[in-house]
Amino acid sequence: MADKPTSGEILGIPYNFERPNFSNILSAHWQPGEGMLVEKPFGVGYTLNLANWRSWVVVLVAGALLWQQEQGSAEESQDADDEPVEVIVDDDSN
């Protein structure tokens, strides 16, 4: 039985299922002179190239959005500690 390939491309999307090691992971995420997206060291698709400044912009924007979301959920939990609200329903059936 022929061995199945552990890396290649399907429909233009790269895949790699070879066992990763630390040097492969490090070299995959740090490729000076390459674009913002590079092939993943393990799995399917692309990952950020941290040697490209555009990748750091993406990381900072994602971090800011996460921080903003956490601040909003913290404010909502503080609002939940307020006193209960009385609701009066007028059932005016004629």
* Domain that residue 61 falls in: 7-80
Residue 38: how many CB atoms within 10 A of its CB? Answer: 21
The whole-number pLDDT of residue 47 equals: 93
- Evaluate whether residue 28 is within a structural domain: yes
- Evaluate whether residue 74 is within a structural domain: yes
7 has pLDDT over 80: yes
pLDDT tens by residue, 16-68: 998 888 988 898 999 999 999 999 999 999 999 999 999 999 999 999 999 99
Q: How far apart are CA 50 and CA 34, in angstroms?
A: 10
- Evaluate whether residue 85 is within a structural domain: no
- Evaluate whether residue 90 is within a structural domain: no
In this prediction, residue 5 has a pLDDT band, given cuts at 50, 70 and 90, of: confident
- Overall number of domains in the chain: 1
Q: How far apart are CA 94 and CA 87, in angstroms?
A: 22
- Evaluate whether residue 1 is within a structural domain: no
**How many CA atoms does the CB half-sphere of 7 hold within 13 Å?**
8
The whole-number pLDDT of residue 14 equals: 93
